Structure 1
Amino acid sequence: MDFDFSQQYKDYSNVDLLKIVRQAENYQATAVAAAQDILRDRKISDEEMSAVDQYLQDLDNAEKDKKEKMDALKNKVTDFLEPVIHPSEKVEPGKWVNILLLVIAVQYVWMLYKTVWALIRFFQCRLCTFDVSVIFLLLTLMYIPFIFFLLFKKRRWGWILLFADNVFALISGLGQSYIFFKYQSIHNGNTISFLLPLLIRAAFVAFLWRDPIASHFGAMQETKKNTAFITTGGSLLFVLIMFLLFGT
């Protein structure tokens, strides 16, 4: 049974009916025909026509504004991700650093989520005793924003700390690879989940080591070499000590 649009529209105002007729593409053909039939028996004033014209013009302006905002947002995103979307030999440190800051921010949000849940579970556990890992979790929550601030301000120490952190994590991870692959079959370890963080750390190290990026933070060649030497030496010493203590 077809719906009776004439019955529904009989009490509609002229303006409402004109809106239906003028926007026929948004309505069923029978609905538009019903509105037209009703309008034929009515007198339409100039004010009503003007009201509908203004309504449609406002809709058109709103649609144009929405499209312009979407285009502007798209252009901003494209410009922001230009180094990734359209890589070139010429490095633009400013744009790469913006992407780096975004990655750090996302990493911090994820770490904050995991840390909060870890703390909630710890304090709800009646049998759990104090663990030094809780302190490390809290320190991490302060450490990442501190590095973010230094990088945002283009401070050399921001580059030094971030580079050293990734070198240490990379070397420590490689040091653990012997134990991981030795006992992988026993513990059903996931090779991809183990290697992926190492590859990400390696990518960070390579990215930060590039001269345009390092110099963007005021880290010249001497600073780069000293940071790499001290961090690598300290990391290797740490791995050696851990291996001697727990490797057997």
Structure 2
Amino acid sequence: MKRYAPLLTLLAVAVLGLGLLAVNVAGEPDGSAAPAAAAAAAPAETTAPAPPAPAPTTEPAAPPAPEPPAVAEKAYAGRSSGDEVTVAVAVKDGRAVGYVCDGEEIEAWLEGTVEGDTIALRSGDGEVGVAGNLDEDAAFGDVTVNGQSWPFSAKAVQEPGGLYEGRGDVRGVATRIGWIVEGDGRVTGLARSAGSAAPQPAPPLDPNAPDRVVVDGAPITVTTIDGGDVVVGR
């Protein structure tokens, strides 16, 4: 029996070694599971949404040019560029009246319109006209007389400057007189009697004392003309 003792001991050691080896193998983690677990633990990769396309830009439309302000009521007096005629224009609420006179033989009353800063006036026979522009300070454009045109400019005036009309019976004949008083006090005018083809010199006018105008002993009624008056066909 003793002779088998070393052999039994060797077998026991071998069995113990096999048992320890099995325990070690069972305790090691499965290498194939680790990558799967790691993959499960990793957050899912997401694609960031594309930024919205910028809205198309358009250039803002330029605002329309403002309409020139209308002149409510004003009177202007001046002359053509070569001093051929004197021109007066009075405007009020979209209407315009005027008078063109050279103090010798040309004289005509005109009516027309004001649209924005544009004026257009004609005489009753269409032979005399004024066309141009105005603002609060001046009127300028062209004056036409019997087919001839000249540039003119006229300054805005306050009374006693402006346009005046006189009416009276002179020697029993209805007489009409027109005067233009410029800002510097110069006065240009002519008188026309009913039935007369040619005008006559106008009597002197003091715009500060209009009731003193007398022709051949006949008193003349003098009024200031504004853009609202009717002057053609009277």
Under TM normalisation by the shorter chain, which class is it? under 0.3
TM-score, normalised by the number of residues in structure 2: 0.21
Q: Which structure shows the bigger proportion of residues in strand conformation?
A: 2
Q: Which has the larger radius of gyration?
A: 2
